[in-house]
Chains A and B, each alone.
Chain A
Amino acid sequence: MNWQGALQPFVLIAVVALLAWAMGSYMFRVFEGGKTFVDRALVPLERGVYRLCGIDPEVEMRWTTYVFALLAVNVVGFVVLFVLLSLQSVLPLNPAHLPHIPFWTTWNTAVSFMTNTNWQVYGGESTMSYLSQAWLVVQQFLSPITGICLFLVVARGFSRHSTQTLGNFWRDFVRALIWVAIPLAVIGTIVLVALGSPQNLHAYTHVTTLQHAHQTIAQGPIASMTSIMQLGDNGGGFMNMNAAHPFEAPNALSLLFQLVLGFAIPAGCIYLFGKMIKDLRQSRAIFAAMAIMFVAGALVMYHFEYAGNAVLPIHHVVLAAHKNMVGKETRFGVGTTTLFDNSTTAVSWGSVAASNDSMTPIGGMVNLFNMLTGEVIFGSWGVGMIGMLAFAVLAVFLAGLMVGRTPEYLGKKIESYEVKMAVLAMVVPSFVILILAALSVVLKSGLSGIFNPGPHGLSEVLYAFASGVGNNGSAFGGLSSASPWYSATVGIAMLLGRFPMYIPLVAMAGSLGRKQRIPASAGTFPTHGPMFVGLLTGTVLIVGALIFFPVLALGPLAEHFAMNAGKLF
């Protein structure tokens, strides 16, 4: 580990803090009233949309109505995508004449792009026509906006009191689209083009290399897709290699810009939450907890990747540097690559700049852990924040009694209903990951898809389901994810990890919104100081560790200790 590399996550967090403030203030004005400098251009557009769709944006909805509308939009997106993918070979805008897509790939992809997972069981440039890619981009807008709507409704459960209603879905949706997603994606595209990414609709170029080999150079609207992929924390890249491809990240500056783009909205949501509940101290505490876990993860991963493979010295292999460069982009080096990859699982964008499969066992475990804890270390648009709020509710419930009052969080009493919903949100993802992974390692169809038997294979399987449930989308590799078994099961995992996980939390918000606010006093459990930051971090780590420690011991930990003893898998 050198100090420049170790400093990087801290610098990034400082930038993210500024970003949180800027984006949070802007989004607060967009969603909770107030004026923005783009209103003059956008308000007429917004009115036009409402008139066209017959929406009354002033109607307040109960949480049930809100969720119903949200699900309806998602179902429509899913069906359209499913149809387009199924009929790709006969639809236009397919200059490369890409063939029909198998059913399980279609199912998996449709779920994947509906749930903001963007798990790709296909290579984009060699599977998807331009029309398919175009609708995938549409989904890359719709799915993160779904996330931010989920967040807004949950946040209103805390910010409002004694009310049945938590906002209007259509208004939130339209505003998130035309005030946040589209303008930022356009800006992102322009910047990425300026930094060297291509943006065209050309057929692929066939060239003969200097060594007289034939090469097909895939291209297309790469800058725009990369822009929304990062901004929306989607991770569904145009290229199979994602950010490791020189068209997606032509240089280090482009990669760093993509980092910033990915953090923008999730970090902004933290600040937005504080503005909504009129208590920025709470935002600071949550930000601090996330930042601590982020920096710790980045440093651990960096340390182990930098230390390299312990087997080499044991077998007297002498290298100039022992850094684990396998599967990493040489242009970026270990420090920047690990920072990007730790962010990939923490912020849940899922696009990678390295091959996770080639990481050291502990380096890979950091990625796993980021996802297994529910993607609450920033997380993707809004849902990371919701997950963290669920943990805060649990932390307050577990330890809050110790101040001698029944637990309350942000002035709202936490009672059986809230506990039930928070437990449900915690139970669903862990059950799905554990049960599907367990089935995969005993059933033949699952076992046959594992390329590296032994502890490493277990990590691969675990990673696939963690990524699916976490709606992350990054892959460890080493798994035949396109096989029907994994296409089907990861699809199920993605679906369960989205709606059954977050809808209980919206229900919790519905109940919280109905409650009266309890005035704070010296007897109130303080949820803003360093102690709460420690408690919250501890809860996330301990709960995550308690649920997944046994399987992690059999996977990455067993592999790590075996590696130290000179054995590889």
Chain B
Amino acid sequence: MPGTVTAEAPAPQTPPQGASARPPRAGQSMWTRDQVAQAVRVSLKKLDPRWMVRNPVMFAVEVGSVLTTGDAIRYLAEGRYSELAFVGQISIWLWLTVLFANFAEAMAEGRGQAHAEALRRTRVETTARREGPSGIEVVPATALQRGDVVVVDAGELIPSDGEVIEGIASVDESAITGESAPVIRESGGDRSAVTGGTKVISDSLRIQITAGQGETFLDRMIELIETSQRRKTPNEIALALLLAGLTLIFLVVVVTLAPFSAYSHSPVSVTVLIALLVALAPTTIGGLLSAIGISGMNRLLEHNVLALSGRAVEAAGDVNVIMLDKTGTLTLGNRQATELVPVEGVDERHLAEVAQLSSLADETPEGRSIVVLAKERYGLRERSFGEHEATFVPFSAQTRMSGVDLDGREIRKGAVDSVAAWAGSELSLEIRAKVDEISRSGGTPLLVAEDRRVLGVIHLKDVVKEGIKERLQSLRTAGLRTVMITGDNPVTAAAIAHEVGVDDFLAEATPERKMEYVKSMKAEGFMVGMVGDGTNDAPALANADVAVAMNTGTMAAREAGNMIDLDSNPTKLIEIVEVGKQILITRGALTTFSVTNDVAKYFAIIPAMFVVAFPGLAALNVMRLTSPDTAILSAIIFNAVIIPVLIPLALRGVRYKAQSALSLLRKNLLIYGLGGLLLPFAGIKLIDMLVTALHLVSTAH
């Protein structure tokens, strides 16, 4: 450790551990008692008109509630109890409509706040050992400034966000990610970023602090969860505008209905007009809109993805090109031996034996896969060299081959050119052809030689991850183009791209090429999503519409991204896209449902309003509701009750399976369009039967 310790560094405090400190994970019940109680309290608080005015639809309902309540009080004072029963109950249901909408929002917010609360508990006061001009000094973590260098030993908490400048250590990041398996952090390379609040388990690190006061990852995360919920996304704003427009139109419809009905000698009371307005205004979607957006962010959190803006989540649904790294995302990280091809005159089994011998000491995944292949395909058991005189020749970048000298036999395997050079012989046309074929197919050929004689070729192949092909296929049906990024040459890349089933590939990818690719896609009008971890991904990430940076990645990558994947799982992008789509679908489904609902409400309320003046209009009472009073009350009850009924759907989201827009639209139009048209007929009728049975209001025609 550099420098001298000038003060005895007390062991930094350990944060309270245990399940409670962990962010809530998927699968937890959405209706815990505490949460519900809290949401009820919040929804009452939200009745404040200064808050309500942000949502014009529900604000109109609240104003209506106040007016009808005024009427009810007047009837009470005047002792007109028969009118009071009707107006009073309408008022109650109007207030409930507002409360239900507030409750939905409070529930969604509550789940995010629980998450933020859990994170805040991990952000405890720690101390740091900072390198000063006179050696190491102990300072509180809050005193750290950008650019300071601190030393963290095993068992200590990392005081703030930073970049490892020296050392390698395993770090427990469970406080942030909820993942208990420790991760490796080292200087240089793509795993150099560390997060304040995480704990070094082994070894020690020198860290340069990269975040100032209140700007740490944890701070930002808490702030995001708590405040970004309030910021509306572009599509939400557009939809809110449309809903406000609809409400305004219905307001004029209802206000002008007063003179029309007066002209028709069929005057209607203010309560009934307000009831009509509330029934027509898109209260279902108006009440659930913000809950849908907030719960979408929460769902991403459950996937351990932190979206730095709501806009990015929405963009995720729109992404139509996704760029995926080949290694680790599409293929397993390492290549595996799949085939042994002997030269003419060499027994395949002999080749297998030699290949096995060459690899026994090779601990790389490739080497092990050769041993496995020899065992599985040729029945060659692993042998030990106990009684033999064996000298291993390790792989080096200069020789580009490895092998073993065993009882005088010289066995080598390695890159084609190197082994051929070592053997000192021209490769036969036959073996040359085989090597080319393997290269073309995207594989890597390894030559095996014994005593300077080439015996054959090992075919090392990139192994496509299980299930990835089907996933890419389903993405294609959903209209997403997939692009594979790889450092391989174009020939190899083409072969793997074909095997995996991506639409396009970017071979010999450099930071510039990646960025250029993203830019050219965007110029054609595509929305690009990509995942990156390294500094060399940062330029491309900064240009992508949805840029997911891995938590293990470098600071540069993290700063360029607009989402951070705490699990650092490169296929997460696919799930992010799905969550984005789910939010939009839920919003659209409930909007359609809300608007088509109005048809049935009209058929309940309009005949009820005018049947006295025009008895013929009873023909429009297709639901055969008992009386004008029961009809109007039933429509209002349905309108209110549908909100809590749909809260679980709003919080969970409409189920999404990747499929073409056409089939998705057909399905959703059928459920939410046609369903929205028909369901309220049944619902209002049912409520009317209940209202009639209970004699809640006058049942006289």
Contact = CB atoms under 8 A, between A and B. Distances in A.
Interface string B238-267: 110110010011101101111111111010
Nearest to A532: B665
A551 B318 CA distance: 41
Interface of A: 394, 397-407, 411, 414-416, 418-420, 423-424, 426-427, 430-431, 434-435, 437-439, 441-442, 447, 454-455, 458, 516-519, 521-526, 529, 531, 535, 538, 542, 545-547, 549-551, 553-554, 557-558, 560-562, 564-565
Contacts of A546: 250, 253, 280, 595, 598-599, 602
A553 to B, nearest CB: 5
B451 to A, nearest CB: 58
Interface residues of B, number: 77
Given A521-B479, A524-B661, A549-B602, 8 more contacts: A402-B585, A424-B245, A518-B526, A526-B662, A546-B253, A550-B609, A558-B264, A558-B616
B235 A427 contact: no
B317 A554 contact: no
B520 to A, nearest CB: 13
Contacts of B660: 522-523
A547 B609 CA distance: 16
B543 interface: no
B669 A535 contact: yes
A403 B479 CA distance: 11
A550 B318 CA distance: 39
B260 A525 contact: no
Interface string B262-300: 111010000000001000100000000000000000000
B619 interface: yes
Given A415-B238, A416-B241, A531-B665, A401 B259 contact: no
A535 B615 CA distance: 34
Interface of B: 234-235, 237-239, 241-242, 245, 248-250, 252-253, 255-264, 266, 276, 280, 314, 317-318, 320, 476-481, 524-527, 580-582, 584-585, 587-589, 591-592, 595-596, 598-599, 602, 606-607, 609-610, 613-617, 619-620, 656, 660-662, 664-666, 668-669, 672-673
Interface of A, secondary structure class, is helix
Nearest to B602: A549
Contacts of A423: 241-242, 245
B256 A401 contact: no
B673 A399 contact: yes
Contacts of B614: 455, 554, 558, 561-562
B428 to A, nearest CB: 49
A524 B481 CA distance: 13
A16 B427 CA distance: 76
Contact of A547 (B235, B249, B524, B592): B249
Select the residue from B260, B595, B656, B666 with max chain A CB neighbours within 10 A.
B260
Contacts of B258: 438
The 6 closest A-B pairs by CB, nearest first: A523-B479, A561-B616, A401-B588, A404-B581, A521-B479, A423-B245
28 contacts: A398-B591, A399-B592, A401-B588, A402-B588, A402-B592, A419-B239, A419-B242, A430-B252, A430-B253, A437-B256, A438-B256, A438-B260, A441-B263, A442-B263, A454-B264, A458-B263, A516-B525, A517-B525, A518-B526, A519-B526, A521-B320, A521-B481, A523-B661, A546-B280, A549-B602, A550-B253, A557-B617, A561-B616
A397 B616 CA distance: 38
Nearest to A517: B525
Contacts of A551: 256-257, 260
A522 B584 contact: no
Given A519-B524, A521-B320, A405 B234 contact: no
A542 B256 contact: no
A556 B694 CA distance: 36
A517 B527 CA distance: 11
A435 B256 contact: yes
A442 B264 CA distance: 11
B86 to A, nearest CB: 20
A399 B320 contact: no
A554 B619 contact: no
A400 B276 CA distance: 28
A389 to B, nearest CB: 16
Contacts of B613: 558
Residue among A399, A437, A447, A531 facing the most chain B CB atoms (10 A cut-off): A399
Contact of B665 (A403, A414, A519): A403
A394 B246 CA distance: 11
B256 A420 contact: no
Contacts of B617: 553, 557-558, 561
A553 B582 contact: no
A398 B661 contact: no
Contact of A399 (B260, B266, B588, B610): B588
Nearest to B614: A558
A519 B259 contact: no
Nearest to B586: A401
B668 A402 contact: yes
A458 B260 contact: yes
B318 A406 contact: yes
A273 B616 CA distance: 45
Contact of B664 (A403, A415, A549): A403
Contact of A406 (B480, B584, B589): B584
Contacts of A526: 661-662, 665
B606 A553 contact: yes
Given A404-B656, A427-B249, A521-B479, A441 B584 contact: no
